[in-house]
């Protein structure tokens, strides 16, 4: 099991460029999440998907869109990147229905710099 994988690991964009961050999990989890991590801010939820076919906004959704492509994959798109979106982005997944094993599993992160 690879767990949660993210691509790319690093990315540098210019202001106004677009890109998509990819995330995939092989644990058959229903729920997937996108967070950003900024120094001193902890983790902030951008979007989440409770199940295939559904997505919902989190705490900081502005400037982002998401797609739950299938049960395994959940992508995050920046349509027009801004310097304020420089951050480390983490994807996570969890199984909603198994109360015993209900923690989130995290990917290794994507470090994005917007110039």
**Minimal distance, residue 30 CB to other proteins, in Å:** 10
Nearest CB to other proteins, comparing residues 28 and 100: 100
Nearest CB to other proteins, comparing residues 17 and 104: 104
Nearest to 69 by CA among 24, 29, 108, 109: 24
Nearest CB to other proteins, comparing residues 42 and 53: 42
Q: How far is CA 87 from the centre of its chain?
A: 12
Which residue's structure tokens are 């996570």? 92
User: Is 42 in contact with 29 (CB distance < 8 Å)?
Assistant: no
Residues binding other proteins (CB under 8 A): 4, 31, 33, 40-43, 45, 48, 50, 56, 90, 92, 94, 96, 99-100, 102-109
């Amino acid at each position: 099991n690879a767990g949660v994988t993210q691509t790319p690991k690093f990315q540098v964009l210019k202001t106004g460029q677009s890109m998509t961050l990819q995330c995939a999990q092989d644990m058959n989890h229903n729920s997937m999440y996108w967070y950003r991590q900024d120094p001193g801010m902890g983790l902030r939820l951008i979007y989440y998907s409770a199940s295939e076919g559904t997505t919902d906004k989190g705490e900081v959704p502005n400037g982002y869109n998401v797609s739950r492509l299938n049960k395994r994959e959940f992508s995050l798109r920046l349509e027009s990147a801004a310097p304020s979106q420089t951050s480390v982005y983490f994807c996570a997944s969890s199984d909603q229905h198994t109360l015993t094993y209900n923690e989130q599993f995290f990917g290794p992160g994507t470090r994005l710099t917007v110039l």
